Structure 1
Amino acid sequence: MKIATVVGARPQFMKAAMVSKQLRQHETLIHTGQHYDAAMSDVFFSQLQLKKPDVQLHHRDDDLGSMIVGLEETFDQLKPDIVIVYGDTASTLAGSLAASKLQLPLAHVEAGLRSFNRRMPEEYNRVVSDHLATWCFCPTEQSAIQLTKENINGSIIVSGDLMVDACLHYKTVALKESTILEEHQLRAKPYYVATLHRAELIDDAKRLQTYLNHLQTLDYPVYLPLHPRTKKAIEQLNVDPYDILRFLPPLPYFDMLTLLSHSQAILTDSGGIQKEAYVLSVPCFTLREETEWHETVATRWNTLVKEKDLPLLPQLVKQRKRPTEHPSLFGEGDAATLIVETLKREFSRS
């Protein structure tokens, strides 16, 4: 069995690391180059013990066409039996389209999520990938139900979520090895963590300014690791320094996991960090009009804060409470094993 795994962005490195541990002799790892910053890419490979890419491409996420062509050429040379893609990024869509064109069996991990907002690139990336996939590995029962409603052709498997695998596997070593709390003198101080990176926010200077201004109104310092695009956009605002907001460079996984774990609350427009917040039992406030992780909102660990509700943000955050119930929404940390066993079984039948 020959497997080609396509990765290109931070969340995919974490997910692929858990599966790749069990596929080393079968797998060719292909990095599209989507996250080109060393802090967004290289350090994750070393910390997660993810093998270095067997194939390194150099395609940014704003050049989907060349990414598809590059992956087609790579698949044509490798002739894999199965292609694996993760999540909802440009790399995922490119891998799915290239595999489909070459009629290669496709496994989409983290299938079935829907924000129902087609203006988001992530939404059509995952919708297209789901409908092209041979196997759809769903993180939750609800995501599997959604695919059934859409009458997709591929097999639907509820696998649980690989981010749970990663958090459970790496949390102890992260808390032991990371020094970020000491570096910022945070061991005994309350603080929040925020992330902003989505194009619809970052590319609109006025909206970005609005969100930063509202984060500035919170009662504790807000540590904001900056995606390179976010950093550039903030620099172009040419605003006075913020005293509550503490901008950080992109963080290695262990530092980010530690920073999130000790925070009072997390404010984010990221899909993956909503999930990490839930796994770490930290209250989350999602700064978007919608979310694909509906279950976290239903359990009240996640609060959706739409743009019109931003003036209420200080009150919402200050009144936060940790719910007493914390159901297992995303599996028990064995998603990688289920995915690998399923692919091996399916391949043996072919």
Structure 2
Amino acid sequence: MTVTIVAGARPNFMKIAPIIHAIQKKQNEGKNINFRLVHTGQHYDKNLSDQFFEELNIPQPHVNFEVKSGTQAEQTASIMIAFEKDLEQNPTNLVLVVGDVTSTMACAIVAKKASVDVAHVEAGIRSGDLKMPEEINRMVTDSITDWFFTTSTHANNHLKKSGISDDRIFYVGNTMIDTLLKNLNNLKQPHMWDDLNLKPKQYFVLTLHRPSNVDETIQLKQLISLICDLNNGLPIIFPVHPRTKKMLDNANISHSNLHLIEPLGYLEFNFLVKNAFAVLTDSGGITEEATIMNVPCITFRDNTERPETCEIGTNELVGSNTEKIKNAFRTLFAGKWKQGQTPDLWDGKTSERIVNILLELYD
């Protein structure tokens, strides 16, 4: 069988890497399975894309559409046009999409209109927040998917409530955690560690990119000022997403303990997270990684598509509520933050399970 694997943005690369490695392992065992890797080019900064291929030992893609930036509609249309042509020229048994970025939805639509089966890795997760583009991507993708690979019982239940039969849902775990566990011993101290005189568990890592947090200058300034006031003078390391950098530049935001740095590669960023006193974020994926590494995580969102990170993990939702944010910092500095547990099947073997299932489905 042939599987066309789609990747487009930074979170995708951590999710596809172990799947590719699992396929290569089966090929070495003589199994009849091949893959074609399609990179849509949705992210095009080297630190957000190419470096991940190098660090995670992902082979160079068979094609890169290089769609780059644009409005939601422009980017979706560019990906669909390019993928339709590529799919015509390169027939496949299955298109495998991961996560919830624009590429996920766009390529799933093209595949189904071409009568090609679609498998969605990380299917079924829901935030319930339709203001998030990712939520639209998840809902549309899952409405036309054939095979659903899920990370949690919450995801299973969302799919079942939408009418998906049990025989199409496979509870396999989290491929992003496959990548994390494989690389925990390979994490790299970032170049600015000594320059900023960082010490383990004596700094914060901050990431912000959600429109609700970064698109309004006043709100962004207020949030960062509050964080800088509450952090007891500890350094705050902020790898700045391109979307957020534009807003920070316009807002002229500057604090003595806030250090804006360029986006980091996977191994350097997770070194920072692993050794941080706490993570401050609005990212879903980082909450999963923080849970596995048992690092306290404060999330500036009112909802999450990964509730297990709050229920048994290290994550707490505070939204933009000032009192919730203050209470979270008080709990942190009092040493009373909850200890995380590992969610079921987040054991580093998810990708093996996915590939074994695909081989059974397409035997």
Same fold (TM over 0.5): yes
RMSD of aligned C-alpha atoms? 1.9
Count of matched residue pairs: 346
Partner of 1:20: 20
- Relative distance call for 1:60 and 1:202 in structure 2 (3 A) is farther
Decide which of 328, 345, 350 is 2:360's aligned counterpart. Answer: 345
Structure 2 stretches lacking a partner, 5+ long: 28-33
Q: Deviations over 1:213-270 (max 9, x none)?
A: 122112221111111111121111123x211211111001110110000001111100
Partner of 1:49: 57
Q: Distance in 2 between matches of 1:214 and 1:41?
A: 32
Moved over 4 A (4+): 177-180
Please state how far the C-alpha of 1:324 moved relative to its aligned partner: 4.5
Q: Secondary structure at the match of 2:23?
A: coil
Q: Deviations over 1:294-315 (max 9, x none)?
A: 1121126211012123652543
The alignment's TM-score, normalised by the length of structure 2, stands at 0.90
Q: Distance in 1 between matches of 2:355 and 2:236?
A: 39
Structure 1 stretches lacking a partner, 5+ long: none
- Relative distance call for 1:258 and 1:117 in structure 2 (3 A) is same
Decide which of 118, 134, 143 is 1:122's aligned counterpart. Answer: 134
Q: Distance in 2 between matches of 1:135 and 1:188?
A: 42
Give yes or no for the alignment of 1:60 onto 2:34.
Answer: no
Q: Is the 8 A contact 2:294 2:339 kept in 1?
A: no
Q: Aligned runs of 1:264-275 on 2, under 5 Å?
A: 264-275=277-288
Q: Is the 8 A contact 1:180 1:255 kept in 2?
A: no
Q: Deviations over 1:115-158 (max 9, x none)?
A: 00111100010111112111110011221122111113671000
Please state how far the C-alpha of 1:202 moved relative to its aligned partner: 2.2
Q: Secondary structure at the match of 1:108?
A: strand
Q: Distance in 1 between matches of 2:343 and 2:212?
A: 32
Decide which of 66, 72, 79 is 2:84's aligned counterpart. Answer: 72
Give yes or no for the alignment of 1:38 onto 2:34.
Answer: no
Please state how far the C-alpha of 1:188 moved relative to its aligned partner: 4.8
Q: Distance in 2 between matches of 1:103 and 1:184?
A: 54
Partner of 1:88: 100
Give yes or no for the alignment of 1:335 onto 2:347.
Answer: no
Q: Aligned runs of 1:192-341 on 2, under 5 Å?
A: 192-217=204-229, 218-219=231-232, 220-239=234-253, 241-299=254-312, 301-309=314-322, 312=326, 314-319=329-334, 321-324=336-339, 326-341=341-356
Q: Secondary structure at the match of 1:23?
A: helix
Please state how far the C-alpha of 1:23 moved relative to its aligned partner: 2.4
Letter in 2 for 1:54: H
Q: Secondary structure at the match of 1:307?
A: coil
Q: Distance in 2 between matches of 1:174 and 1:37?
A: 21
Q: Deviations over 1:280-339 (max 9, x none)?
A: 110111111111111121126211012123652543443453434624345211000001
Q: Is the 8 A contact 1:130 1:152 kept in 2?
A: no
Q: Distance in 1 between matches of 2:320 and 2:44?
A: 30
